[in-house]
């Protein structure tokens, strides 16, 4: 059982070694909806609202959201008329997302799955959105993450990601990829800088990489300057 026969076996071994070191689970994290977690607000990201208002995204089409959590961005996009597939591995998060969607009478296709187990046809999506999932992806899975985005996007399609600033106000571990394995921990989520983001997504065209704007808790948009908001476009073929 602990013999390595394939590249997948190596990835699974590294997943397991990291998991063994931590008692954290996303289902436990979401079990109390009243916790004072910044992104538990029921409001879309301020950068996402900007992309829609400033027509930086196609006006219609199919969206894939990676790590949608309780669904605030998926629901916003569905309200704008997009056809949304929203994926998360936490059944607790998705139950909350479905409750929210039902309350707001919005149709979203919520999928409870690990993003690395999705069977996505090539060039299926006009837009891919990720708010806060990518920084929880271990470095050994990053190649597959980038491949998933590149493969699932249509030519000219848009990819947007928000993720921790290195040593930002929300965290964002400033450690090398190797250090993750020395410490056997992502330290609550990896931090990035704008060069690192552009290098990771070097096959895409960087349209805008900026810090998120801070938003009041009472605002109808979510924003925190401890996060990057990065928008990329898949090059036309």
Ligand X SMILES: C[S@@+](CC[C@H](N)C(=O)[O-])C[C@H]1O[C@@H](n2cnc3c(N)ncnc32)[C@H](O)[C@@H]1O
Binding site for ligand X (CB under 6 A): 26, 39, 67-70, 72, 87-90, 93, 114-116, 131-133, 136
Minimum CB separation of residue 170 from ligand X in Å reads 10
Minimum CB separation of residue 82 from ligand X in Å reads 16
Question: By C-beta, is 157 or 223 nearer to ligand X?
Answer: 223
Minimum CB separation of residue 155 from ligand X in Å reads 25
Residue recorded with tokens 């394939």:
6
Return all residues near 189 (Cβ < 8 A) that are at least 6 apart.
Answer: 132, 135, 136, 163, 164, 171, 172, 173
Return all residues near 15 (Cβ < 8 A) that are at least 6 apart.
Answer: 138, 140, 141
Question: By C-beta, is 65 or 126 nearer to ligand X?
Answer: 65
Question: By C-beta, is 43 or 153 nearer to ligand X?
Answer: 43
Q: Is the dihedral of CA 35, 80, 63, 91 positive or negative?
A: positive
Question: By C-beta, is 41 or 206 nearer to ligand X?
Answer: 41
Minimum CB separation of residue 227 from ligand X in Å reads 10
CA 7, CA 224: separation in Å to the nearest integer?
37
Q: How many CB atoms lie within 10 A of CB 199?
A: 10
User: CA 70, 72, 76, 79: dihedral to nearest 10 degrees?
Assistant: 40
Kindly state the helix (H) or strand (E) to which residue 177 belongs, with its residue range: helix 177-183
Residue nearest ligand X (C-beta atom): 69
Name the DSSP letter for residue 15: H
Question: By C-beta, is 114 or 167 nearer to ligand X?
Answer: 114
Question: By C-beta, is 188 or 205 nearer to ligand X?
Answer: 188
Minimum CB separation of residue 27 from ligand X in Å reads 8
- Which SS3 state, helix, strand or coil, does residue 181 take? helix
Return all residues near 149 (Cβ < 8 A) that are at least 6 apart.
Answer: 128, 159, 201, 204
Minimum CB separation of residue 73 from ligand X in Å reads 6
């Amino acid at each position: 059982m602990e013999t390595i026969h394939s590249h997948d076996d190596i990835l699974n071994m590294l997943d397991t070694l990291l998991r063994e070191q931590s008692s954290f689970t996303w289902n436990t994290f979401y079990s109390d909806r009243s916790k004072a977690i910044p992104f538990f607000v029921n409001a879309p990201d301020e950068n996402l609202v900007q992309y829609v208002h400033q027509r930086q995204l196609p006006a219609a089409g199919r969206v894939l959201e990676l790590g949608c959590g309780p669904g605030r961005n998926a629901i916003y996009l569905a309200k704008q008329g997009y056809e949304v597939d929203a994926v998360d591995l936490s059944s607790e998060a998705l139950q909350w997302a479905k409750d929210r969607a039902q309350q707001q009478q919005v149709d979203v296709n919520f999928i409870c799955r690990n993003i690395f187990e999705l069977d996505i046809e090539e060039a299926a999506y006009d837009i891919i959105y990720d708010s806060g999932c990518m920084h929880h992806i271990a470095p050994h899975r990053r190649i597959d993450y980038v491949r998933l985005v590149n493969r699932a996007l249509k030519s000219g399609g848009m990819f947007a990601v928000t993720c921790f600033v290195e040593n930002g106000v929300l965290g964002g571990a400033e450690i090398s990829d190797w250090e993750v394995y020395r410490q056997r921990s992502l330290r609550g989520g990896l931090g990035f800088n704008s060069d690192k983001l552009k290098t990771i997504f070097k096959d895409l065209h960087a349209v805008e990489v900026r810090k998120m704007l801070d938003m009041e808790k009472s605002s109808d948009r979510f924003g925190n300057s401890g996060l990057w908001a990065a928008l990329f476009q898949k090059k036309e073929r």
